[in-house]
Structure 1
Amino acid sequence: MSMESLPPASRADVEAYRAERGPRHLQWSPILLGAFAATAMSFILVTFGASVGLGVTSASPTWRDASAALWILSGIYLILQAIISFGLGGYIAGWVRNPPAPGPVEQIEQADGLHGVAVWALAVVMGAVLATLLGAASLSRNPSAATSARTSAAEPLLSYELDRLYRAGRRAPNIDLSSERAEAGRILLTASSHDGMSTDDRTYLIQQVAGATGLAAADAERRVDNVIANAKTAIARSRRSTIILAFSVATAVLLGAIAAWAAACAGGRHRDGAPLPEWMVHSNSLDRRRAALP
């Protein structure tokens, strides 16, 4: 039903209701500014964390010696950087946004909070695009990471185990073991399955290692058994770190939305010269008291 078809009295009531609620449109300039700021701050903090070792996604052998405490600490750092980054973006959006029309405080805070959530959503999309572009660029610069029929998905994860498996004192320099390594990597991945590596695969792997390295059958069997045990440990650690990373990312994104909403409301209060919420006032008063102590 259009406004023209309504009676004059009803039309006046609708217009008064709309005037009371205020405009509902989003201001995209503050949202874009806040999203760019949140993405930049997140990139800086994540890069800093990775540089000091707070990362659980490294494929290098160093993560094998990392403890569960380091993985948990890395996840906590990921959550904290998300709160800081999205909080910064939300505060900027709430503070820069044009002052709304006079209305109830609750509605103004809801509008500010929605701008903070919009900053959060846009920053998440921008971060995902940036991560995808960086990943694609790193793959294009590393020809060895390209997918081919002679490589295996196990190569980045079990590269050290494969090196130990085919280590030999004497070998002709023109021998290429890429196909053998790829096949052995796929076999080693089955070691972490529910049924484990089959007897036929183990026997075949022993024969392959003995033929490629020149070891005796007994020595090749011991080497294969040691590598299988190490591969199980490496795959288990990788799974645990992946679970911690996934949980940390999900928690960071969820808490980032809350931080962006709260920070946008705080930025809107600063913009309008209104008093801060009680929990912020209490926190600021405690900080001032601590600073005044000798």
Structure 2
Amino acid sequence: MGEFEDTRRHAIVEDPPSVEAFASAVSWGAILAGGVAAAAFSLILLMLGSGLGLAAISPWAPAGESAARFGVAAIVWICVTQIFASGLGGYLAGRLRKRWVAVHGDETYFRDTAHGFLSWASATLVTAIFVTSAASGLFHVTAQVASVSATGGAMGTLKDRGNASAALDAWPMGYLVDGLFRQSDSAAANSNATPDVTAADKKEVVRIFLNSLASGAPLSSSDARYAARLVSQRTGSSLDAAQTRVIATYSQLQQRFADLKAAAKDAADKARKAGIHVSLWLFVSLLMGAFAASLTATIGGRQRDF
């Protein structure tokens, strides 16, 4: 009888550590299950948030007010999405993991926390892969459209600055050159006195303007006189009046390009600040998600054991 008690005591004391030594401390099945559930639930919440956000935006509200309200609501919803989705994934990872035998309470708490964190990490990586691949093309196209719009379409690129046809069809060059060759009322009444304006005449003046705009220098006197002769021949105005019109038109063009450049810089600065705010709040939301997943995993693990 005494020999049996010794054997039983030996089994109680020695067997659990030997079993624990061969058992894995990580339940990857539970971790992946929690990660998949968190990724799917976050997708559901993001779709719901998108619908609610579009429903809350009014096209009649001021643009600045609507954008600010939408930005605050988006930040709050992203944080809420991270907390709920990561919390669900962490809880499932803790509740579905294997039962650990003869493990100290502190070790169990650490393992459950680690399972929750790993489920959050797996869901975050999967979501990041899909979101990055889908958003990279959208960001590229958006950046191109914003750049072209802010700098005046075809006039905004160096390639098109040497193309008179493209520049003539772009704003503000086309409008200002058309106004440069606009005839006075007296000349228009006597249309036989002046030859018609041709596209070649306009393109020649455009090339003169583009050559000076490329260097940012004022219009040279020789270019101004030559362009004035073309304008005088086609509009019937005096040479001095035509030269004054040419110089005034070029000054307006310089001012328009300066305004477009300032607007492009302002848009780039606003985009930079928006990117900073988005990155910081995404960082905060991810920390919230990691904490929620780790906390709920300990709750799920405790319910699993008891």
For Structure 1 versus Structure 2, the TM-score category normalised by the shorter chain is: 0.5 to 0.7
Deviations 1:38-84 (A, max 9, x none): 11122222333344448xxxxxxx98776556434433322221111
Structure 2 match to 1:266: 299
Distance 1:126 1:26 in 2: 20
Alignment of 1:196-275 (within 5 A): 203=216, 216-273=249-306
Secondary structure of the structure 2 residue equivalent to 1:216: helix
Task: Give the alignment's TM-score, normalised by structure 1.
Answer: 0.58
> Residue 125 in 1 paired to residue 125 in 2?
yes
Distance 2:72 2:219 in 1: 38
Deviations 1:190-222 (A, max 9, x none): xxxxxxxxx986827999xxxxxx992132123
The residue type paired with residue 216 of structure 2 is T
Alignment of 1:28-43 (within 5 A): 28-43=28-43
Distance 1:129 1:28 in 2: 20
**Structure 1 residues 16, 88: CA separation in 2 closer, same or farther (over 3 Å shift)?**
closer
Structure 1 match to 2:194: none
Distance 1:120 1:206 in 2: 63
The structure with the largest helix share of the pair is: 2
Contact 1:90 1:116 in 2 (8 A): yes
Per the TM alignment, residue 115 of structure 1 is displaced from its structure 2 partner at its CA by 1.0
> Residue 99 in 1 paired to residue 99 in 2?
yes
The residue type paired with residue 157 of structure 1 is A
Distance 1:257 1:71 in 2: 23
Structure 2 match to 1:10: none
Structure 2 match to 1:193: none
Distance 1:37 1:16 in 2: 33
Contact 2:148 2:154 in 1 (8 A): no
Greater Rg, structure 1 or structure 2?
Answer: 2
Identity of aligned residues (%): 25
Distance 1:41 1:206 in 2: 63
Unaligned segments of structure 1, at least 5 residues = 1-12, 55-61, 146-152, 168-173, 182-198, 208-213, 274-294
Distance 2:119 2:126 in 1: 10
Distance 2:92 2:101 in 1: 19
Structure 1 match to 2:149: 160
The residue type paired with residue 234 of structure 1 is A
Deviations 1:104-132 (A, max 9, x none): 33222222111111111211211121123
Contact 1:86 1:260 in 2 (8 A): yes
Deviations 1:156-191 (A, max 9, x none): 333332347859xxxxxx9546xx99xxxxxxxxxx
Unaligned segments of structure 2, at least 5 residues = 1-12, 55-61, 157-163, 172-211, 221-245
Task: Give the alignment's TM-score, normalised by structure 2.
Answer: 0.56
Secondary structure of the structure 2 residue equivalent to 1:101: coil
Distance 1:201 1:14 in 2: 86
